[in-house]
A and B are shown apart, each in its own frame.
Chain A
Amino acid sequence: MRTQVFTQKQTLKTFGFLVTMLALFAFNPSYGQTRANTETTSTERTVKGVISNEKGPLKDVNVTQQGTRHGTTTNENGEFTFPVKLKTGDVLLISYLGYETQKFEIKEDTTFIKLVLTEDMIEMIGALDSNKPYKSKRKN
């Protein structure tokens, strides 16, 4: 009799524990992400590419996955191999100081990216502030 009561209590405890865990999973945002990933696992692939400007391959270009810290830079030949596998719909940001940042969306058949960056055609100007008191020009 005593053992039975004990088991009942135990069952109740186990049940409570399960409910708590379930609740935790349900509200954990990473759970949703796991599910999204499993849908597309089959299409995950390594993406490589080459980045250049109008003159030729560009070294040290940043290639980053939008919304993450995943990223790499191009080598002397402008080439990169993205360090994590990517799936259709992921967006890569290709940026280099002085050039227009380009967004590249991974498509069904993307495994190799070839991009030419264009310069930011901005006019360079600059005036400094000054705390020198104004002084009128006087004739004499």
Chain B
Amino acid sequence: MKTFPYIFFLFVVGQSYSQISDFEHIDFKTADSIALSYNKEELTNLPELSYKLTAHLNTDVERLRAIYRWVCANIANDYSLYLKNKRKRQRFKDDSLKFVAWNNDFRKTIFKKLLKNQRTICTGYAYLVKELAELANIECEIVQGYGRVSTTDIENLNLPNHSWNAVKLDGKWYLCDPTWASGIPDKATNRFTFQYNDGFFLTEPELFAVNHFPVDERWWLLEDNIPTFDTFLSAPVIYGQAYENLALHNAPMQMHHDIKKHGKVAFQYELKGSAKTEHIQLVLDNGFDTWKIDPTSISINDTSLSFEHQFNNIGFYDVHFYLEDDLIATYTVKVSN
């Protein structure tokens, strides 16, 4: 009888590994190389492009993959367009007529830019993936919602700011985020740089939910524990590299922790691969200094990683979790007497 909860646990965990791992037997090399072979192709003929990308592939997941990789490698993110849109949306947010008028106008600009310069913002990426997928007879939707990254000003996150895709493969819905997969702004110049991140393709919905909040709740693809907007805003900050390294971010569920001196914070993750103790690193920042430390205790069991850290000095810390050189997540800890 004692084994029952354990078996049940295995079952539940097994269920949650339901996304990219559904296609473990498929090698995406062919799809990826087809996508890359059509680099620099234009957007003037989407039916033709969709055909070229998918005609020689045998499964829907490979067809989607070729489309997704092509979009990620060929469409640049337009930072100035993004900023302009953000500004206008904020300005008109309480004037619905002006808001709609602005969006109608802006949409035309976006599609012109996309066609001419192959530059866009999130919705443009999601739109292209959807159009090309549908032309290849794959059901695909644009998901509108809130995306939260390290630079998001969550105090003013009152309008949807991000778009991604839900796609139906073999009768089941999956999630992907072509915008965040395509690249990131260069830290120094803020200019968009192509840098493909494979972690956003058919991501586990539980991990996705840490920093994606869909407006339409059916796109959580979660069976239970659907976050409220408040829990979403109080979740830890996770980075693109979290998507490359983690299958699940289990604990802590909160960004901020109030603890007493000598108190502990516990961390728990499911990794995609294996890790070594010496790869686990915390970087603490108290506003004046930044220093590396090893967690107080670490336990690695196959792909399951847990560690704890004891805070022995009062203060307010930004706690960054690094796996080797990859920045995974940030938490804040206030230690008081």
> A residues within 8 Å of B by Cβ?
60, 62, 64, 69, 71, 73, 93, 95, 97-98, 101, 119-136, 138
Contacts and interface: CB of A to CB of B under 8 A. Distances in A.
Measured as residues with beta carbon below 8 angstroms from the partner, the interface class of chain B is: 35 or more
A136 B150 CA distance: 10
B165 interface: no
Contacts of B25: none
Interface string B119-153: 01111100100010011000000101001011110
B48 A64 contact: yes
- Interface majority SS (helix, strand, loop, mixed), chain A: loop
16 contacts: A69-B48, A95-B131, A95-B135, A97-B115, A98-B114, A101-B134, A126-B161, A126-B162, A127-B82, A127-B179, A129-B240, A130-B151, A131-B239, A133-B318, A134-B318, A136-B318
Interface of B: 43-48, 51, 77, 79, 81-82, 85, 89, 103, 106-108, 110-111, 114-115, 120-124, 127, 131, 134-135, 142, 144, 147, 149-152, 159-163, 179-180, 184-185, 187, 192, 237, 239-241, 283, 285, 287, 316, 318, 320, 327, 330, 332
Given A71-B45, A97-B114, A134-B318, A126 B150 contact: no
B122 A134 contact: no
Contact of A71 (B48, B123, B163): B48
- Interface majority SS (helix, strand, loop, mixed), chain B: mixed
A120 B134 CA distance: 14
B179 A130 contact: no
Contact of B121 (A98, A125, A129): A125
A64 B48 CA distance: 8
Given A127-B147, A135-B285, A122 B123 contact: yes
B206 to A, nearest CB: 19
A128 B162 CA distance: 8
Nearest to B123: A124
B163 A93 contact: no
Contacts of B187: 131-132
B229 to A, nearest CB: 16
A125 B144 contact: yes
B138 to A, nearest CB: 14
A115 to B, nearest CB: 15
A68 to B, nearest CB: 9
Nearest to B287: A138
B123 A133 contact: no
A98 B107 contact: yes
A127 B327 contact: no
Contacts, number: 142
Contact of A124 (B121, B150, B180, B285): B121
Nearest to A120: B127
Q: Which residue of B47, B110, B159, B185 has the most chain A CB atoms within 10 A of its CB atom?
A: B47
B111 A97 contact: yes
Contact of A62 (B47, B127, B161, B318): B47
Contacts of A133: 150, 283, 285, 318, 320, 327, 330
B110 A124 contact: yes
A60 B116 CA distance: 13
A136 B256 CA distance: 11
Nearest to B107: A124
B149 A125 contact: no
A98 to B, nearest CB: 3
Contact of A93 (B77, B111, B114, B135): B135
A132 B186 CA distance: 9
A62 B122 contact: no
A123 B110 CA distance: 11
B262 to A, nearest CB: 22
A95 B82 CA distance: 26
Given A64-B47, A71-B48, A133-B320, A128 B123 contact: no
A127 B85 contact: no
A69 B77 contact: no
A122 B127 contact: yes
A136 B161 CA distance: 21
